[in-house]
Amino acid sequence: MPPTDPGLSLSSADPRQLPPECRALSEDGRRPPAPASGPLLDNLAGWGAADTPAGPFALVPVRPDRDLDRITGWMNDPAVAAFWELAGPPETTAAHLRGQLDGDGRSVPCLGVLAGVPMSYWEIYRADLDPLARHYAARPQDTGLHLLIGGAGDRGRGLGSALLRATADLVLDHRPRCTRVIAEPDLRNTASVAAFLSAGFRYADEIELPGKRAALMVRDRARRHLL
């Protein structure tokens, strides 16, 4: 994927600054799940939207009664299933989401909503509290992310890099104690590794994880305006 515009800026974290479609999805007549409002990820539900070259982008915490069918469809896309390994009936996706939603808020599943359209799935998590921390030199407050882009038409044109950069900036802007954002894409997923590099992440190491060999990608707070 080509490099993205380095001049991304963030809008206010006030949810009222979200586009109407995003605000409706976020509120939807209910409060967000409690873990998304918790301290482990500094109230992710209230982060607001980031400006990107493709429009405003927001992370909206998942609500299974609203989002399960959409996410299940994405998980059954062969290009996604090859790396997420969650293809199957809605119960398979529901069990994966439940493991996070029933937890203490150290991992929050989200829809990525771009210009009012839900088009990606994200997991924002405390890497220092995750089993991943056994496989690299973790620092307190390290924040990790997983993602998939749902539609084939949104892949392969640089959009992933723009959203990765915006999401890393959201983390660093709203988590002042976090000094870096971590990711561990499968080494076989060369398009994903390239997207992280274009988004200002650096290749830090190659690590062996259960089920995959991964590239440890790091976006450093100290270098965020240089890359």
Report CA 221 to chain centroid distance, whole Å: 17
* Confidence grade of residue 36 (pLDDT, cut at 50, 70, 90): confident
Mean pLDDT of 158-162: 95
Residue 3 burial class via C-beta count within 10 angstroms: exposed 0-12, middle 13-18, buried 19 and up: middle
Which pairs count as long-range contacts for 116-120, CB under 8 Å and 24+ apart, including other chains? 116/19, 116/20, 116/21, 116/22, 116/55, 117/21, 118/25, 118/60, 118/67, 118/70, 118/150, 119/149, 119/150, 119/151, 119/154, 120/147, 120/148, 120/149, 120/150, 120/154, 120/163
Q: Report pLDDT for 23.
A: 57
Over residues 87-127, the pLDDT tens digits come to 999 999 999 999 999 999 999 999 999 999 999 999 999 99
What integer best gives the mean pLDDT of the chain?
Answer: 88
Q: Report pLDDT for 91.
A: 98
Asked if pLDDT for residue 17 goes beyond 50, the answer is no
Q: Report pLDDT for 26.
A: 52
Over residues 177-223, the pLDDT tens digits come to 999 999 999 999 999 999 999 999 999 999 999 999 999 999 999 99
Q: Report pLDDT for 10.
A: 28
